[in-house]
Structure 1
């Protein structure tokens, strides 16, 4: 049984964590960098562990690793050796596992929540480019080239001991197809696929999310399908579209509603109508079974989900 279904067999909801980068910035990190939070794997890995612990304590059933923009090429361009880059990518998983085990030994009542998962973040090719193309999907690479791009990092994350892969902020179906081809090289390994969306019905490159869900529904190693790092007011409709084409669990972890400027790598203020925590119960009622937060969300947002989910 895949790790998501194993939890949902006993619990009504899997609660994800919230933003890693936002919390690192709150702790004083400067992430205006091509490597984004992956830079902190070099500079201050203990701080990443602290953020994981913050989210576990807030109620998260799953930690997403700081590997979103961690690639061998990205690190070697920064001046690290290939061996150092490999160790950092594996370290992203090891840090989360250490935080999970440390947290779980201190939990007195283990009956009302599952032992948390560690999901290894597999960012899209656009995250490596660091030019905002994960919100457009206008890649120059074809499917075979995307397979080559993703293969080595996925192998490293699997070898490091992740429970599941978080293939997130995917802007185009061709990239999702490429990753599923890589997955077949690792039998028994499961992944969720969450797309970035441009509106109520379409992912970032303009394809219908219903079409993406229909295609992924036939892939055994796909544990869940959904949306992340997208505006909260799109989520209800997107859940409906995904649900119409798949029986797999639906995952949603939108951003806070703020607008991202890929050029300056900064966030604007979100709309008051996009208040994050007010919507999470509606998403559950619409059919989402894995819910958390992406950019600009924090442990307080995860506590708010926990407050109604564990009643």
Structure 2
């Protein structure tokens, strides 16, 4: 993946943009609900980030899994169609932007795949506290990987992975993948994953992985990112580093709401520091919106690619 230009600007949170459009996302499928009910709004949200300057956008497939759709009464064939459609919407947004823009930069599309905890829809991606065998985890992830392997996605994006067990399973599965991937951990602080294992252990799993071109962290408080970058570079020195933290606000699972505030100008300053410390791909997760992405896009336009 050395042909890519860095720093690359990733998009921000999808849910917060959709909520500003009036969408009610209190559903087990979360943003993936709109793949079926209102796909045009997903395209509009992707476009908001492209217009803000993102050069890589992620699909709405984070919460979309075959098991999740089956649990809600859908047939497997329909579940597969919804997952593929999440990517199609992203690709359509890219084409609409390219057709509309003058001198558009190269835009990349990543097929988002969330952790097993996203399927549970109980906030366990923030803890890693789910009991499941390696075999069942393998099947959960393999179904989506196999489905999306022939797709036109530029990358796979495995996001918010909270446990070392799940990372080990993904490491083994992706050995056979022909699609480049990034793996993004969710962390409780600058030392530990959400399940309590060390970030250094997770980074070492992918240090020499043939299909994983970048490792990093998302949906983690911004205050921990600089130290995490250091750990990632130490234990996987040949991998690109991707960071897209949340706003630092606190999510309450029972009320399904966030508490706290975020400042786009402050986020811009932190993004500059993360880039200086070695982050190659920078964006945002929950509660980070187009204004944040616009600021870091303008910031990096003033710099030469790494």
**Bin for the TM-score computed over the shorter chain:** over 0.9
Could you tell me which residue of structure 2 aligns to residue 265 of structure 1?
A: 256
Q: Which runs of 5+ in 2 are unaligned?
A: none
Could you tell me which residue of structure 2 aligns to residue 150 of structure 1?
A: 141
Out of 155, 180, 201, which is 1:190 matched to?
A: 180
Could you tell me which residue of structure 2 aligns to residue 215 of structure 1?
A: 205
Asked whether 1:85 is paired with 2:79, we answer yes
Supply the distance in 2 between the matched residues of 1:160 and 1:15 (Cα, whole angstroms).
Answer: 23
Out of 3, 19, 26, which is 1:6 matched to?
A: 3
Supply the distance in 2 between the matched residues of 1:230 and 1:97 (Cα, whole angstroms).
Answer: 27
Answer yes or no: is the 8 Å Cα contact 1:17–1:292 preserved in 2: yes
Supply the distance in 1 between the matched residues of 2:69 and 2:54 (Cα, whole angstroms).
Answer: 29
Out of 270, 282, 285, which is 1:279 matched to?
A: 270
Could you tell me which residue of structure 2 aligns to residue 175 of structure 1?
A: 166
Supply the distance in 2 between the matched residues of 1:256 and 1:219 (Cα, whole angstroms).
Answer: 30
Supply the distance in 2 between the matched residues of 1:77 and 1:172 (Cα, whole angstroms).
Answer: 23
Answer yes or no: is the 8 Å Cα contact 2:265–2:295 preserved in 1: no
Answer yes or no: is the 8 Å Cα contact 1:256–1:274 preserved in 2: no
Task: State the 1:98 CA deviation.
Answer: 1.0
Task: State the 1:6 CA deviation.
Answer: 2.2
Q: What TM-score, normalized by structure 1, do the two folds share?
A: 0.93
Supply the distance in 1 between the matched residues of 2:152 and 2:264 (Cα, whole angstroms).
Answer: 40
Out of 50, 53, 64, which is 1:59 matched to?
A: 53
Out of 2, 5, 18, which is 1:24 matched to?
A: 18
Supply the distance in 1 between the matched residues of 2:298 and 2:24 (Cα, whole angstroms).
Answer: 32
Could you tell me which residue of structure 1 aligns to residue 300 of structure 2?
A: 309
Answer yes or no: is the 8 Å Cα contact 1:164–1:191 preserved in 2: yes
Task: State the 1:49 CA deviation.
Answer: 0.6
Task: State the 1:144 CA deviation.
Answer: 2.2
Task: State the 1:162 CA deviation.
Answer: 1.3
Could you tell me which residue of structure 2 aligns to residue 121 of structure 1?
A: 112
Aligned length in residues: 301
Supply the distance in 2 between the matched residues of 1:232 and 1:119 (Cα, whole angstroms).
Answer: 22
Supply the distance in 1 between the matched residues of 2:3 and 2:29 (Cα, whole angstroms).
Answer: 34
Could you tell me which residue of structure 2 aligns to residue 238 of structure 1?
A: 228
Supply the distance in 1 between the matched residues of 2:155 and 2:6 (Cα, whole angstroms).
Answer: 19
Q: Which runs of 5+ in 1 are unaligned?
A: none
